[in-house]
Copies of this chain bind each other. A is one copy, B any other.
Amino acid sequence: VSGIPRIAPEPADAIRCKFDRLKQGSGTHSPSIATIRRDIPELRIEVDACFLSNPYATDLFMERLDRDLIATGRLRDVLEFYPPQNYDAAGYISQVSGIPPDFIFPGNGASEVIQAVIQRFAGPIVALPVPTFSPFYEFAPAATQVRFYRLDEAAGFRLDVADYCRFVRECGATTAILVNPNNPNGYYVARDEVRALLSSLRDLSAVLLDESFIHFAYEDDDSLDMVSSERLVEEFSNLIVVKSMSKDFGIAGVRAGYGIMQPARVQELTASGYLWNLSGLADYFFRTYGEPGFRTQYEEARRRFIRDSDSFFAEARAIEGITVYPTRANFMLVCLADGWRSFDFAMEMLINHGVYTRDCSDKVGLEGPFIRIASRSRTENVRILHALRQTAVTGP
């Protein structure tokens, strides 16, 4: 590990150029690490700090899968046969969340849930705080108008719930979206405020609450207990909650997520063809997730990761030349010193240090040089911090 460029200037330019081309081909998303490795094999990526997940939970799940499916040879059954229909998985999720299964819509990743609900239950006018996860506006049908509520950089990109509710009324929105914690900055809206928002907007046709990163948030510093608002669907009939398993369980390749909403909405989606959208492995994941013993082990992995992440964010805040915004997610939004282009900074981190971060220059609602950096394992975080210090100190 060193600050000296590992790759000579000319090959570095070539890599920069290849990476830029890959990025253009990925739309408003980052090229996956598999794609980068295939197309830029000369680049050695050592830490993927673009990827948002809990690596300790991946360890846990893989150990379990080795024992259950590999050692026993049962992996074949999972891949060969049709998985059960979705209501089986809804039953397992219900055991964890306490919400009746008919409120639960299992999905092929949270992105399928977002796609399904944004196209059927949102609109005609949707209010959306930005910057945020782009599918909320990209997947909306052409006839749906998306009104951006711009978060203020000076306020650390925090969301003021009362002000947002005013905006919702002013723009005549029929649907309001809240991503909590938000991506890419990690702001967290406390449960009391979520409830206040829902009370204020209970006449809308839908309120979409995306809790994809809620496993990394907490309100009590000692217990680090998870604070989800998913059970509020039983109280607020317009609420739709989106949950991802990719981040908290570190299994993005499995594609597993779910939505929580009124049974009539679940039925409408199911009738339109969402029957076998879970793979055999996603079904296996949800079955495992339903087991109390597994969740006890997961809770340890979750708390350990939160503690490591908090230390990581604190150390990053001490680095001169960058600004780190408040976060209760497993990533931080970083503003670079004046003069930096975020693409250049991300490329320095990648080429000189093997650390892959998210250049946020394509994010609607972010003006200026921003990158998003994920917390990874404790040893990886040490490498990320080293790379950050070395890069920030060189100046643009």
Interface, chain A (partner B; CB < 8 A): 25-27, 29, 31-35, 48, 51, 53, 58, 61-62, 65, 70, 75-85, 87-88, 108-109, 111-112, 114-115, 118-119, 135, 138-139, 141, 246, 250-255, 271-283
Chain B residues whose CB sits within 8 angstroms of the CB of A119 once the complex forms: 272-273
Chain B residues whose CB sits within 8 angstroms of the CB of A87 once the complex forms: 25
Chain B residues whose CB sits within 8 angstroms of the CB of A282 once the complex forms: 279
Chain B residues whose CB sits within 8 angstroms of the CB of A283 once the complex forms: 253
Chain B residues whose CB sits within 8 angstroms of the CB of A252 once the complex forms: 80-83, 280
- The CA-CA distance from A65 to B69 in the complex, in Å, is 13
- The CA-CA distance from A233 to B70 in the complex, in Å, is 41
Q: Is the CB of B108 within 8 A of A80?
A: no
- The CA-CA distance from A29 to B65 in the complex, in Å, is 29
Q: List 16 A-B contacts (CB under 8 A).
A: A27-B275, A34-B77, A48-B81, A51-B82, A58-B79, A62-B76, A80-B253, A111-B273, A111-B275, A111-B276, A115-B273, A119-B272, A139-B273, A253-B283, A255-B279, A279-B279
Q: Is the CB of A80 within 8 A of B251?
A: yes
- The CA-CA distance from A231 to B11 in the complex, in Å, is 41
Q: Quick one: copies of this chain in the complex?
A: 2
- The CA-CA distance from A288 to B369 in the complex, in Å, is 40
Q: Is the CB of B80 within 8 A of A32?
A: no
Chain B residues whose CB sits within 8 angstroms of the CB of A272 once the complex forms: 115, 119, 139, 141
With A29-B275, A119-B272 known to touch, is A34 a contact of B81 (CB < 8 Å)? yes
CB distance from A45 to the nearest CB of B (A): 11
Chain B residues whose CB sits within 8 angstroms of the CB of A53 once the complex forms: 80
- The CA-CA distance from A365 to B250 in the complex, in Å, is 47
Q: Which of B32, B81, B135 contacts A85 (CB 8 A)?
A: B32
Chain B residues whose CB sits within 8 angstroms of the CB of A275 once the complex forms: 27, 29, 111
- The CA-CA distance from A108 to B115 in the complex, in Å, is 14
CB distance from A393 to the nearest CB of B (A): 31
For the A-B complex with A34-B77, A115-B274, A281-B281 known, give 9 more contacts whose Cβ atoms are closer than 8 Å.
Answer: A58-B79, A77-B253, A79-B254, A79-B281, A108-B108, A108-B279, A138-B271, A253-B283, A255-B277
